[in-house]
Amino acid sequence: MVYSENELVFCVNCKKEIENIKKQGVMTKEELLLVKHPQKVFQVNYPIKKDDGTIEIITAYRVQYNLNLGPGKGGIRFHQDVDLDEVSELAFGMMLKTSVTDLPFGGAKGGVRINPKNYSKSELEKISRGYVRELFNAVGPTKDVPAPDVNTNPQIMSWMLDEYEKIAGEKSPAFITGKPISDGGSEGRDKSTAMGGFYILGEEYADVEDKSSICVAIQGFGNAGSVMAELLYNDGYKVVAISDSSCALYDKNGLNIPKILEKTYKDGSKIARLDSLDLEKITNEELLELDVDLLVPAALGGVINSQNADNIKAPIVLELANGPVLPDAEQILEAKGTRIIPGLIANSGGVIVSYFEWDQNLKGEHWTLEEVNTKLKDRIIGAFSKIKDLAQKENLSLRKAANKIAIKRVIDKADIN
């Protein structure tokens, strides 16, 4: 195979992520060559009959970016803009995440190109079942294990599992994760992403006796951000700012998170937005620039960029969201000594507990919440320690060290004839 330094054009485009890692200098030419293409790419187009009797063709994707470490693992998102490039990019990210956390999985991702708001429940069920029928031969407990992602949920996983088991003619709960507990889902999956990040912070601040001396701002109050706020509050940290898409709340003496949760979000379902509360409001932009000890972006990608990086004062940023710090902002932050705990490890709690769900299903077990959290803590702290050790040994940022470990593990298992 001929490799050219400038040959970064792919049939399926995963340029951005690979370019970023390439710039970090943590990949050799040979490693780059081995990960620059997704291994398996599927596009399917299938008809469903809508409630009004009309027929619609649904376009959907599954990309198994790399299967060197085991079956593919990655969510399925329902979104009107989803395309092969995006799914491929996300599958590449999953490959790095499963690798750095030492899971026996490769990286995969799926997408269905629809706006779910435009479909009834029964139409969504047909779309979900159709996805599994079309991709049945490519997925399965030992081939590729899907999970929820943007706009998909335990109900959709449940329909997909049912369809898979009907075709397979046998019970096969390990086919998919993020299921309802009644279908073989795991305890702790709902809070696992924040829980993983929380354990990492426990390591970061292991020497701090009085956690109330640590002021925290959290952007995003959804599944990841609100759980993180609650965990930190209960552990004694001073959470001074939180936000959702409506506004940010600020109290320099610390917010009463349980009270806010009581008034806004119950059992994970949003019943009011933060701007409905009678508390001091600031903007989301101001929240990011607060003079705090710890900043946790837990909403959108790209919120810390070249425009605001100079104004970020927190010495530690924990990426609970995917990609909140853009590469050009990272350079600015690095130059002033900000420690960025990359999403690859910081938000990997979700995929780790997905792995536990698959493992329990294969063994016919159901672990207690305590067992799940103990195992999560061991695994995420173990992976984080390896990243820190390499970063220190080779004088790398945590992100570069994480990427280097992830790529190496994938390449070491490459099957080259």
Active-site residues: which are they? 109
| Spatial separation of the C-alpha atoms in residues 188 and 185, rounded to whole Å | 9
**Cβ nearer to ligand NAD, comparing 21 with 321:** 321
Q: Which of 115, 118, 153, 245 binds ligand NAD (CB under 6 A)?
A: 245
Q: Give the nearest residue (CB) to ligand NAD.
A: 222
Q: Which is nearer to ligand NAD, 128 or 219 (CB)?
A: 219
Contacts of 149 (CB under 8 A, 6+ apart): 74, 75, 76, 77, 109, 110
Using CB under 6 A, which residues numbered 166 to 195 contact ligand NAD?
193
The residues in 348-367 that bind ligand NAD, with binding defined as CB under 6 A, are: 350
**Collapsed DSSP state (helix, strand, coil) of residue 126:** helix
Residues 312-351 that bind ligand NAD (CB under 6 A): 320-322, 347, 350
Interface with ligand NAD includes 93 (CB under 6 A)? no
- Contact window for ligand NAD (CB under 6 A) among 84-92, 100-108, 292-300, 325-333: 292-300
220 contacts ligand NAD (rule: CB under 6 A): yes
- Name the residue nearer to ligand NAD (CB basis): 35 or 287: 287
Nearer to ligand NAD, 110 or 350 (CB): 350
Directed axis angle between helix 15-24 and helix 84-100, to 10°? 40
The H or E element spanning position 405 is helix 398-412
Residues 376-395 contacting ligand NAD, CB under 6 A = none
Burial class (CB in 10 A: 0-12, 13-18, 19+), 415: exposed
**CA 72 vs CA 32, 64, 69, 338, 408: distances in Å:** 20, 6, 9, 34, 18
- Minimum distance of ligand NAD from residue 394's CB (angstroms): 27
Q: How many residues bind ligand NAD (CB under 6 A)?
A: 20
* Residue 60 CA: distances (Å) to CA of 57, 74, 113, 132, 167: 10, 15, 6, 10, 19
**Binding of residue 41 to ligand NAD (CB under 6 A):** no
Using the rule CB under 6 A, is 154 a contact of ligand NAD? no
Which residue type occupies 72? G
224 binds ligand NAD (CB under 6 A): yes
95, 408 in Cβ contact below 8 A?
no
The amino acid sitting at 146 is P
Among 128, 151, 219, 360, binds ligand NAD (CB under 6 A): 219
- The least distance separating ligand NAD from the CB of residue 388, rounded to whole angstroms, comes to 21
Which amino acid, 117? K
Q: Is 101 in the site for ligand NAD (CB under 6 A)?
A: no
As beta bridge partners, residue 145 has 73
- The continuous run of DSSP H or E covering 392 comes out as helix 369-394
Interacting residues with ligand NAD (CB under 6 A): 193, 219-225, 243-245, 284, 298-300, 320-322, 347, 350
